[in-house]
Structure formats: C-alpha cells, structure tokens
Amino acid sequence: MCGILAVLGCSDDSQAKRVRVLELSRRQFFILFFFFYFPPLILTLKHRGPDWSGLYQHGDFYLAHQRLAIIDPASGDQPLFNEDKRIVVTVNGEIYNHEQLRKSLPNHKFRTGSDCDVIAHLYEEHGENFVDMLDGMFSFVLLDTRDNSFIVARDAIGITSLYIGWGLDGSVWISSELKGLHDDCEHFEVFPPGHLYSSKNGGLRRWYNPPWFSEAIPSTPYEPLVLRRAFENAVIKRLMTDVPFGVLLSGGLDSSLVAAITARYLAGTKAAKQWGAQLHSFCVGLEGSPDLKAAKEVSDYLGTVHHEFHFTVQDGIDAIEDVIHHIETYDVTTIRASTPMFLMSRKIKSLGVKMVISGEGSDEIFGGYLYFHKAPNKEEFHRETCRKIKALHQYDCLRANKATSAWGVEARVPFLDKEFINVAMSIDPESKMIKPGEGRIEKWILRRAFDDEEHPYLPKHILYRQKEQFSDGVGYSWIDGLKAHAELHVTDKMMLNAEHIFPHNTPTTKEAYYYRTIFERSFPQNSASLTVPGGASVACSTAKAIEWDASWSKNLDPSGRAAVGVHNSAYEDLLPPVANGNLAPTMIDDVPRMVGIPAKELTIQS
C-alpha cells in the first residue's frame, strides 16, 4: 500500500512551502508533510510507501505520494499524468484489469507500466463516470489543471484507507491516514467506500451500486462450481506482481483456500517466472496456538515454504501503543486482531516480501461468524451479511490495510473482489443458513464448493474446521492476557467516570477504556474519535444481531468464544468465576512467556 496526501485549494502557494514540504517528505521517520506555518506533524505516512516520494504542485493544489512499488518498480513513480500533463493523479492501490483497460484506450500513450497509469487516461476519455470500470482496490485524487477541478474516489468496499478533512482557509484535505489531517484540519472524517467526491458538484456521491446493497433478499440457486470459479478468478487476478509475495496462512478455511488456489495456479504466472513457483506462507501465534498447528498442516499439504512466527503475550502488550498509533482505532476486536498481524508484518518485510494475499471478507459474505448460528431466518441472515460487508472498512479492512502498511507491506483480499461478491451475494441465503442437524456448519456453501474428491484443495478436516476469529486463533491466552493487563491499569473509579471523560462511544470494559486512553493521546480531536465505530457486539456481531439471542446482551464481548453454546471452547468452559466480569490481575502471571522460534530462511528464486 502507498500513502497519499492532497491539499486542495489552500491559501499559500509559495516556493518556501514547497521546499519545506520536500524537505520533510524525505525524512525517514516521524514526519511526512506539513507546511511551514502549521504546527509540526510528529506522525508519519512514510511507512506506507518507503520506495519513493513524489510531490506535485499546481498553484494552491498539492498532490503528494509515498510509494510502495509493487507493479513496475522502475518507472511507476507518482504522481502520474496524461500525455500533456494537464491531468494529474496520485493513487494508492492496485488496478487488476489495467491491461484490458489499456487496450480500450488505443489512442492514448502511457508513460509507465504502472497499473495505476490508466486512471488519468480514463478520466480524459470518460470524465468522472469511469470509476466503476476499475477492478481493484484504490484511493485516488485526480486534479484537472484545465479548470482546477478535482475528484477523489475510494474502492467499493474500502480495502484502502482514506480520510477527508477541511481547513479553515477553505482547503480540502485528503489523506490515507488520520496522521496527515488531524493537526491541520478543523474537521475530518472517514471518506466513505464506494463514493466519489467531485469539486464540480461540491459533494459526495456513491458510484458503487450493486444489487445486494439494497438488502433485498436474493433468489439465485446455489451452484458450487459457479462459486468456486468466481473465487479462483478473484485469487488469480491478484497474482499480478513484480515483487516477491506470499500468503497469510492461519490454517482456517479462508486463508487455506487462498493458499490452495495460489499454489495451484502460481506456476503459470509472470510472478512465478520472476520469483519461482514455490509459494511462501506466513503464520503468527502464541506457542501451541490453534492457528500455528493448523497452518503447518496446510503448509505441509500444499508444499509451501512456511514461516512460523511466535510472539508472547508480553510482546503483544508492549506493541499495543504502536498498534493503536498505526491502526488509528480504539475498537477492541480490531486492536486484538491487529497486534499479531502488526508483529507478523514486520517479520515478513524483514524477509524481503512486499505483498501478501489474505482471507478477509469471507465471514461477512457467508455468515461465518459463530453468532450466525442463531439467525432466526434467511431474511435476517442476509441483511446481517449486508450490514457486515458495508462496515468492513471500519474493521477487518482497516486492520489488514494498516497493520501491513505500517511496515511497507501490501495486503490483497480476493474475497472482496467485486465480481466475486456479486456472485456470492446473489445466492439464495437459505443455502447459507447454518443447520448442524443437516451437517451444514458455518460457510457450508463455500466449503462444499471446494470439496473436490478427485482433485482435493485441502484435507477434509481443514476444509470443515470450525471458525476461529484471528484474535482467538493466535492463542486464547492472548485475549485473556489483554484483559488482565487492562485490569491492572484501569481502576473501578476510572470506569465510574468513563461516560463523562468519553461521552462518545463510552468504553464499557476496562480493556476498552485502556485502548481509548492510548488513542486519545495520539488523536485528541473530537473528529478522530468520531471516525471509530461503536455499539454493542457479541462475537463480532452488529448491534442489530444481538436481538437474536436474549442471553447475548449479558455477555457483550467481540471474541468468538462469547458465542456460548456454539464455540467449541466457549468462555463458559474456559474461564474461572471472577467478579464484575473482569479477569483477576494475577491471571497475567499464569500466561506463559514463550520464546520465539526462528522461521525458515526465505530464499527467492530468480
């Protein structure tokens, strides 16, 4: 993932400002961009794009870019232009159908081999109505210097992060992260997924309008091979890369299918010719965790070069402040899951890998979270999946994007492919309903689609492994240790005053209070706290789904183990009785401090 920052229509276009911007953009850490009359930004976007920095100025418009080079590393530096350089664009993302789009523009000359080079030319040809032609993940700012108009757009689901802010001088600010805005904008907010901002029209409009968005109940019969082919195509198109890559492998269904398809189709790709046909896989967990065991088994079955990273509870706790700084949230489940992913991404980057393929999005599309067992009917099941997909940019997409970008690694998510979502969300939700009495566990239609007796993708017991949320699968003592740590640092008296200190999204647990105080230190503005979602949740449900089971309102924890009566290791079977729903502080002493085991050395074939 790259990092973009645009300041559009600010009140100062002096050379001194440009010099200052260039000077600060070249620093290695702490500061990305700020203008000489603003207070220093002590935070950075540099981590998102360590390969190159670019800055374009046209009058009082500034487009800046921090590049992570994945496609055409030699010549694809940004900002990018059309032929006469009157249309300028800065982009974060990947356009998987860029070769087909180039062929549709025979009268245009492209300056680079970058996949993002098509955007300026598509605008030149089609005006603002080209965004739906893009197949990929992206956030971009495009400036048309012919009339000083500009557009901003974000991909359909919000895989790439993007924020918009407004300055007192009338300027509009766009940034990949809050860090580019929070000190200099009077107000800022999340730029909504699937939307376009046009300066000509003066506001936002939704460009992504799929049939499922209305939450109408679909009726297409389930066809296993149609679903299988759609997902295989989604994975294959994401093998487009000019740099070393691998797959994140937890050993659960979703990441295992991504790995299996990648391993099956890698040999015939350009990536295999450049870097070798043997796939590299990566997993993280506490010693003895469910994910480590399952991932090793899948790796052995697929023949990947497997890299297993261990962390301790204390390692994770020590990283929490950095995680919140980079992920830019105080949401409990996001922080729990982001921390091991953040630690793993650092290890991955140290091995020379710049891109990974991951399994986010499947649980939202297929109702894979364990609370879906309690869906009362297919209509409620389907509406909940729609709500979950629409909120992904605030949760799993945010985590996958920022936890990897923190170390200059790009994460690609084939389950969130537009075409695949259209196929999966058009299926009659009756087929997705969980019916244990009929042998249909969560995500049964996805499992069945890849249950091939003749040419198996995965071992049966992996294909039908129960859902583990990432924050659980890395080791159950991880969440327990976080709760115990928070218990040591947040007093009962502090909790009594929580609603006065944090009137918006008031933390209701000591763990949530602990994260919120860290977040507020980095992002004290009210606008920042408003970018984070809130509301009750059990096992990652929306607030609406809590109505499915009256007992859930008494056990509001986002862990999958809160799905009492469903999860094989539910809280009622694991935890000792404790007062006020909090773990006793001494429990932290019972968490083992494991010693990490070095992963295999990564060898990239040429």
Query: Residue 17: its pLDDT value, please?
Result: 53
Q: Can you tell me the mean pLDDT for 472-495?
A: 90
Evaluate whether residue 479 is within a structural domain: no
Query: Residue 45: its pLDDT value, please?
Result: 58
Cα distances from 592 to residues 313, 320, 480, 512, 587, in angstroms, run: 8, 19, 12, 24, 11
- The reply, when asked if residue 158 is annotated as ligand binding, is no
Higher pLDDT, 606 or 228: 228
- The reply, when asked if residue 359 is annotated as ligand binding, is yes
Residue 140 CA to residue 5 CA, distance in Å, equals: 10
Known catalytic residue at 2? yes
Evaluate whether residue 486 is within a structural domain: no
Q: Omega of the bond prior to 79 within 30 degrees of 0, cis?
A: yes
- What is the β-pairing status of strands 149-154 and 305-310? unpaired
Higher pLDDT, 96 or 268: 96
**Considering 2, 116, 283, 540, which one is annotated as catalytic?**
2
- The reply, when asked if residue 416 is annotated as ligand binding, is no
Region of poorest pLDDT, from 62-71, 239-248, 366-375: 62-71
Q: Can you tell me the mean pLDDT for 274-294?
A: 92
Are 124 and 181 in a shared domain?
Answer: yes
Segments forming the whole domain that contains residue 182: 3-28+37-209
Q: What is the CATH number of the domain that holds 408?
A: 3.40.50.620
Query: Residue 560: its pLDDT value, please?
Result: 53
Give strand pairing partners of 245. 355
Question: What tokens were used for 557?
Answer: 């924890």
- Give all strands (DSSP E) within 78-207, no chain letters: 80-81, 87-95, 136-144, 149-154, 163-166, 172-175, 187-190, 195-198, 203-206
Query: Residue 475: its pLDDT value, please?
Result: 65
Evaluate whether residue 234 is within a structural domain: yes
Residues contacting 129, CB < 8 A, separation 6+: none
Q: Can you tell me the mean pLDDT for 278-306?
A: 95
Terminal C-alpha separation, the chain = 24
Q: At 468, is the pLDDT very low, low, confident or very high (cuts 50, 70, 90)?
A: low
Query: Residue 40: its pLDDT value, please?
Result: 34
Q: At 72, is the pLDDT very low, low, confident or very high (cuts 50, 70, 90)?
A: confident
- The reply, when asked if residue 475 is annotated as ligand binding, is no
- The reply, when asked if residue 353 is annotated as ligand binding, is no
Are 135 and 251 in a shared domain?
Answer: no
Are 24 and 91 in a shared domain?
Answer: yes
Question: Does the pLDDT of residue 74 top 80, yes or no?
Answer: no
How many domains would you assign to the chain? 2
Question: What tokens were used for 593?
Answer: 């401090």
Q: Can you tell me the mean pLDDT for 512-531?
A: 97
Query: Residue 533: its pLDDT value, please?
Result: 95
Are 240 and 304 in a shared domain?
Answer: yes
Are 75 and 169 in a shared domain?
Answer: yes
Query: What is the DSSP track for 71-89?
Result: S-TTT--SSEE-TTS-EEE
Q: Which of 159, 177, 209 is the last residue of a domain?
A: 209
Higher pLDDT, 296 or 587: 296
Question: Does the pLDDT of residue 3 top 90, yes or no?
Answer: no
Q: What is the CATH number of the domain that holds 205?
A: 3.60.20.10
Question: Does the pLDDT of residue 526 top 80, yes or no?
Answer: yes
Are 204 and 230 in a shared domain?
Answer: no
Evaluate whether residue 357 is within a structural domain: yes
Are 120 and 230 in a shared domain?
Answer: no
Question: Does the pLDDT of residue 149 top 80, yes or no?
Answer: yes
Q: Which of 157, 181, 209 is the last residue of a domain?
A: 209
Residue 279 CA to residue 244 CA, distance in Å, equals: 10
Higher pLDDT, 68 or 101: 101
Q: Which of 153, 187, 209 is the last residue of a domain?
A: 209
pLDDT digits (tens, 9 = 90+) for 173-204: 999 999 888 877 899 999 999 999 999 998 89
